[in-house]
A and B are shown apart, each in its own frame.
Chain A
Amino acid sequence: MTHAIAISHLSKTYASGFQALKDVSLDIRHGEIFALLGPNGAGKTTLINVVCGIVIPSAGTVTVGGHDIVKDYRAARSLIGLVPQELTTDAFETPPATMRLSRGLFGKPANPAIIEKVLKELSLWDKRESRIMMLSGGMKRRVLIAKALAHEPQILFLDEPSAGVDVELRKDMWQLVRELRASGVTIILTTHYIEEAEEMADRVGVINKGELIVVEEKAELMRKLGRKQLIVELRERLNVLPEALAGHGLTLSTDGMQLVYTYDTKAETTGITTLLDAVRNAGVRFKDLQTRQSSLEDIFVGLVRQG
């Protein structure tokens, strides 16, 4: 089965000489939610814009649903819906009018029922008579999503969908994205909010300085790169780490009330049992234990720093 999107050795150098993408290869599977993470200027939007036909690549090939984005651009593009990062809307139009344009542009005949359905799903039906310029920022974001969905795309790109959006709308949007995925739509989202990727994505790609550093199942990425910490809360303050515990890779917190043990979740033995025996034998009394798993954000920051 072909991939939803197959990107092969893609590079983009802008006229200014800036190399936004360096030999990127990536396959997006049908029906998955793929989160593309990366700091500002990493190449996320350039990558999306190349796939959508807005930016001409310098090298490499991209197919969408098996269709080459250059040679067979009509078939490729008609599968895609794009929600851009910027709130670029037709200020003087109403939401249904701008959606009709979108639907027509993507080669579909007018269908008021679809327009109504999408507007209702995005809570925009009440605003159907309003000019877009009169809507709030969050509503405008919804209009952009409505436009992207107007032609019933099989692949949806969400470029920074949560930028400038309040918590409630963000949660609504996540719900919508899940529903779209359930209906078979492949979703690629770029985001600054790692929480968003952690919440939603099946797979995560990290891009930095135009290079795709890692592509992994989210759970696998977190398992591979995630570290766990065991925190031993002490009953009494310690000034220095007892000599008997020196060989266990422990660190003493600055207030002297916690022992912190970092371990690898992939390791065959975590060494926790040995450690706790050693703590007890050293006569150190503790009142509580807790573990902490590094978040996707920690992993992301670590990867980008290395890059």
Chain B
Amino acid sequence: MRLAMNLYGMRAIYMYEMARTGRTLLQSIVSPVISTSLYFVVFGAAIGSRISHIEGVPYGAFIVPGLIMLMLLTQSVMNASFGIYFPRFVGTIYEILSAPVSPFEIVVGYVGAAATKSIALGLIILATSELFVPVRIAHPAWMLTFLVLTALSFSLLGFILGLWADGFEKLQIVPLLIITPLTFLGGTFYSTSVLPQPWRTVTLFNPLVYLISGFRWSFFNIADVHVGVSVAMTLLFLAICLAIVWWFFKTGYRLKN
């Protein structure tokens, strides 16, 4: 028995969640790949053929980081929120709560699995996009860093959502009504520098602008905001999510009464 840390417990949650992805392969992997391909067809080929370049990058390639981010954000949130909400909904959460696992281990298990899936998905979408447009990556290490940090942050956000939600409707609201619009408005398909004032300033309040900009910088060396700011904002977001999760477990919010 390891009293300091229940590695077996953490691993059990992680493996269990990964096995769930295996069962829902169509929904987890195939469907986001198909929708991304459709974005390429519509925005990249149909519309993109009329837009030549943005800041020196062919439009088809320009949208790749944004599209990966769009999928990464929505899938991270959905995977992680469902992962923890479902046991709460059906009642199997009793076992997690009665097991000798710490909140940290629970979070690592659930969020780690959700983030792993999202990172894998992001890489698959990157590979898919290669089929449509040639993509060059200027800073591969930074690209992976942004990918991992974003997947972790938004899986944590999903975990928070899954703990907070008391119905399937609430579970859907955040990805559909908040994440997706903010991603679209955050420069997925365009550079925010092309926006007129005051909209350009307004976008600075959209946290996703920083993620997409930083991620795009790692590909093409172009950014709407300085990359340092992007990194700082990503870390800040991660820290806020960690603090909320810590508070949830400390108070037993929605878990214990």
Contact = CB atoms under 8 A, between A and B. Distances in A.
Question: Is chain B a partner of chain A in the same complex?
Answer: yes
Interface of A: 14-15, 52-56, 73-78, 80, 82, 84, 86, 88-92, 97, 100-109, 147
A82 B3 CA distance: 20
B100 A74 contact: yes
Interface stretch (B11-19, B46-54, B117-125, B134-142): B11-19
B9 to A, nearest CB: 5
A100 B12 contact: yes
A88 B257 contact: no
A105 B101 contact: yes
Contact of A80 (B8, B98, B102): B98
Highest count of chain A CB atoms <10 Å: which of B15, B20, B99, B257: B99
Contacts of B101: 105, 107
A15 B251 CA distance: 13
Interface in B38-73: none
Interface of B: 1-3, 6, 8-9, 11-13, 15-16, 19-20, 23, 90-92, 94-102, 252, 256-257
B6 to A, nearest CB: 5
Nearest to B9: A105
A53 B98 contact: yes
A53 B106 CA distance: 15
Contacts of B256: 54-56
B104 to A, nearest CB: 12
Nearest to B99: A105
A25 to B, nearest CB: 22
B91 A88 contact: yes
A246 B159 CA distance: 76
Contact of A52 (B3, B12, B13, B98): B98
B95 A105 contact: yes
B19 A97 contact: yes
Given A74-B6, A104-B8, A105-B13, A88 B92 contact: yes
A108 B6 CA distance: 9
